[in-house]
């Protein structure tokens, strides 16, 4: 990978397996939106950016310092996904799934944002998840201006811990409102230390996360994979349950994909979801 400064953007060359559409629309994140040119704009860690592809290069707005301090790690650009896909091709099904998903990179997302977002995601579809999170950020996040447009940061756990459940009514997220506020209070109060969990074992992290109201196996595993960067976590939603039952039977053990079971899950999820017309997450 080579990095160049180009008129307010960073040009990245020689990076393989980085498809913007697949990465942003594979179900792992909810705050990046595409424009007519195919560029994506979003906010992460309180910073807004635009990212686009032109020919064989990827361009990210900002300085070299911005890239090195945030975006390089956020987009997991130092990981060899080509090699990982090769390791995951254990059969014809995975050959198809990894080929179809080539270009997906797992984002290294903010831990609290991942927890809150996947609490919202349960029993929901992606357009509605994005709408709820957009409203949450607009109502409780910090305002910022990027390229003459208004954006909002993701509200901190401390901010959401200080409100009443009724104040989340504009989100129209139903029973999830109570779960959001409860999780915020647990995190802000230090009862759940997400940084500490990131350095713990998957067994410990899962057990602690499931103590939060509204967090079951799937949400906990999503938080572990997308927020705590535990790449062996294997979230099972309805799509994944159907896929593994059909292709691997009732005794399937995701350890067959270790240490990249979570990345395998993302390829499988993206593949099977796109084989159906329904957008349900």
Mean pLDDT for the chain?
94
Co-location of 205 and 115 in the same domain: yes
Residue 138 to residues 28, 215, 244: CA-CA distances in angstroms? 21, 24, 38
- How many domains does the structure of the chain reveal? 2
Q: List the beta bridge partners of residue 58.
A: 12, 53
* Judgement on whether residues 125 and 178 belong to the same structural domain of the protein: yes
- Whether residue 97 is contained in a domain is answered as no
Task: Give the CATH number, domain containing residue 18.
Answer: 3.30.310.260
Specify the pLDDT at position 185: 98
The pLDDT tens digits of the residues spanning 15-68 come to 889 999 999 999 999 999 999 999 999 999 999 999 999 998 999 999 999 999
- For residue 168, pLDDT beyond 90: yes
User: Is 164 within the bounds of a domain?
Assistant: yes
Name the pTM for this structure: 0.93
Residue 119: which domain range? 111-226
Whether 14 and 119 share a structural domain:
no
Domain match, 120 and 200 both:
yes
Are residues 127 and 213 located together in one domain of the fold? yes
Model confidence at 123: pLDDT above 90:
no
The pLDDT tens digits of the residues spanning 174-187 come to 999 999 999 999 99
Dihedral sign for Cα 170, 173, 178, 180, please.
negative
Domain boundary among 188, 209, 226: 226
CA 131 to chain centre: 16
User: Above pLDDT 90, what percent of the chain?
Assistant: 89
Instruction: Say if residue 206's pLDDT is above 70.
Output: yes
Confirm whether 21 is domain-assigned. yes
Average pLDDT over residues 92-102: 96
Q: Is residue 212 part of a domain?
A: yes
Q: Is the pLDDT of residue 279 over 70?
A: no
Peptide bond preceding 259 in cis form (omega within 30 of 0): yes
* Cα–chain center distance at 129: 12
| Residue 169 reports pLDDT greater than 60 | yes
* Position 98 pLDDT exceeds 80: yes
- Looking at the structure, tell me whether residues 160 and 218 fall in a common domain: yes
Q: What's the CA gap between 259 and 202, in Å, rounded?
A: 12
CATH number at residue 217: 1.10.340.30
Confidence of residue 277 (pLDDT cuts 50, 70, 90): very low
- What is the structure's pLDDT at 190? 95
């Amino acid at each position: 990978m080579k990095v160049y400064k180009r008129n307010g953007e960073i040009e990245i060359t020689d990076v393989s397996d980085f498809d913007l559409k697949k990465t942003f629309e594979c179900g792992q994140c909810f705050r990046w939106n595409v424009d007519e040119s195919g560029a994506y704009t979003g906010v992460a860690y309180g910073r807004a950016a635009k990212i686009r592809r032109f020919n064989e290069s990827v361009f990210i707005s900002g300085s070299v310092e911005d890239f090195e301090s945030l975006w390089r790690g956020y987009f997991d650009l130092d990981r060899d996904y080509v090699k990982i896909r090769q390791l995951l091709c254990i059969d014809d099904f995975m050959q198809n799934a990894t080929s179809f998903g080539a270009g997906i990179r797992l984002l290294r997302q903010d831990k609290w944002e991942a927890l809150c977002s996947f609490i919202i995601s349960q029993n929901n579809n992606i357009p509605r998840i994005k709408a709820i999170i957009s409203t949450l950020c607009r109502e409780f996040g910090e305002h910022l201006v990027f390229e003459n447009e208004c954006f909002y940061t993701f509200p901190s756990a401390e901010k959401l811990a200080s409100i009443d459940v009724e104040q989340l009514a504009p989100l129209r997220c139903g029973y999830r409102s109570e779960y959001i506020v409860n999780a915020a209070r647990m995190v802000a109060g230090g009862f759940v230390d997400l940084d500490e969990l990131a350095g713990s074992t998957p067994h410990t992290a899962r057990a602690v996360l499931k103590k939060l109201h509204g967090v079951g196996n799937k949400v906990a595993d999503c938080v572990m994979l997308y927020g705590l960067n535990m790449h062996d976590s294997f979230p099972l939603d309805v799509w994944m349950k159907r896929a593994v039952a059909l292709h691997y039977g009732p005794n399937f053990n995701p350890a067959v994909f270790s240490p990249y079971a979570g990345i395998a899950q993302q390829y499988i999820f993206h593949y099977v979801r796109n084989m159906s017309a329904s957008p349900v997450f």
